[in-house]
Amino acid sequence: MSVERKIGVIGLGLMGTAISLRLLEHGYSVRVWNRTQEEAAPLVERGAVWSDAVATECDRVVICLYSSDIVAMVVGPLLPDLRAGQVFVDTTTGEPAQSEAMGAQLAARGVSYLAAPISGSSEQTRRGEATVIVGGGREAFEGCADLWPVLGRNVFHVGGWGDAARMKLASNLVLGLNRAALAEGLAFAEAIGLEPAAALEVLKGSMAYSRAMDVKGRKMIERDFSVQARLSQHLKDVRLMLDAAADAGLSLPLSETHRRLMERAEAEGWGDLDNSAIIDVYRSSSP
């Protein structure tokens, strides 16, 4: 059976743009929509087509939005026009219960919903190096086999809709703490008189190593906070983690500290910078 090469993308932020470019490069006919149409201009120049009716024109639609609330706001008005057999692939890092609610809403219309949050920055996604965590029906998952290598290097089907959201939060918890620990370690090295670049190389060659050092180390040292993933977006995710942990009766003291650090960064006006900017919380004053 031939693969449907026309695909829609809703949401053209950092991740939506990266995914759209990947799809174009892999020969898909890409229809795009965003709340602000001017964001689509670079993609249209590369061959994408702007459409106000992405959800009705395409059998498969990739959603790349900021939160579950925004997904509900955007998809809700589309429901009456959807048709049985469509597949919605939602890459948003969202709240588990809301992912389950969206899946049920779409299933009632005969539409398959795959919650597919992506672990990795927009730059890593652009290079095909990210990890995709997928929840939803196995048949729909297998029917999108052509898409997964485009969206990421590693793909895991983890169960139902909410399970993908839960797994992404667990993954982001560890990733975010690795990044915060790196920021603290580099700030400490600077404060005690070590040359930061040399310290980073030692850390990368030691048992302290994490991939955060490869992705964020130089950015922290050079204060290059050009955006790969916004600090405020990860703060949103940490709040979701803490809410989920509270519901489960679990305390997350490291994540609570991480939340406070990022809230201080946001208060300094750094929320729209890359999440590597957390190091300046340490540089600006003692935590």
Catalytic residues: 168
How far is it, in rounded angstroms, from Cα 266 to Cα 231? 8
> Under a CB-based contact definition with an 8 Å cutoff, are residues 70 and 93 in contact?
no
Distances (CA, A) of 212 to 114, 181, 192, 194: 28, 9, 22, 20
> Under a CB-based contact definition with an 8 Å cutoff, are residues 124 and 106 in contact?
no
Which residues share a beta bridge with 32? 9, 50
Largest CA distance in the chain: 64
